[in-house]
Amino acid sequence: MAKLYFYYASMNAGKSTTLLQADFNYRERGMRTLLWTAAIDGRSADHAIESRIGLGADARRFAADTDLWHEVSTAHAVAPLACVLIDEAQFLTPDQVWQCARLADEAGVPVLCYGLRTDFQGELFPGSAQLLGIADALVELKAVCHCGRKATMNLRIDAAGGAVDEGAQTEIGGNDRYVALCRRHFREALSR
């Protein structure tokens, strides 16, 4: 039975690296996969999905109006898919998460989603909230705070490294804009 998986973590936990390793494992065994990532994240010039340790792969890009059920089931009908892997899954709409569940339930294709659980204010992303609610399996990947505790929060920082507590939920950036922290140090940074 195919399942819908949600691998979640703060930034710098290796979500993209883990996705790329899973894709490699399927492909090494001669199985066909389909990779997706959010169209909103256009930072990478070489690959659609790129990890901080230098691994990368091409992928299709989804926007809020992408019908994942239609796109993936059509591709699956042409040549059977062993797995669908989605990076930046926090940017899925709730409807797209249900489409992913339908792919697992009706098309029999496992869907592995990788993304952030919360934003820079500690609020759930809509896609992450839906995944936490309906995924068959939830897997927390671990990042480490500077104190050694598990990092669960994403602190947005300005150019001078100061904490930012206001703004749009989505602002694309890497280590130049975000720091993964434990909850204690996240709260302390915002209270300064």
Pairing of strands 163-164, 178-181: unpaired
Active site residue 88: yes
- Whether residue 192 contacts residue 185, with contact meaning beta carbons closer than 8 Å, is answered with no
Closest by Cα among 158, 163, 154 to 181: 154
Please, which contacts does 92-95 make with residues 24 or more away whose CB atoms are closer than 8 Å?
92/62, 92/68, 92/127, 92/130, 92/131, 93/64, 93/126, 93/127, 94/126, 94/127, 94/129, 94/130
Q: Please name which of 191, 187, 174 lies closest in space to residue 41, comparing C-alpha atoms.
A: 174
Residue 87: both structure tokens together: 């990076």
β 143-144/150-151 pair status: antiparallel
Q: Which of 71, 88, 123, 166 is catalytic?
A: 88
Which residues are identified as catalytic? 88
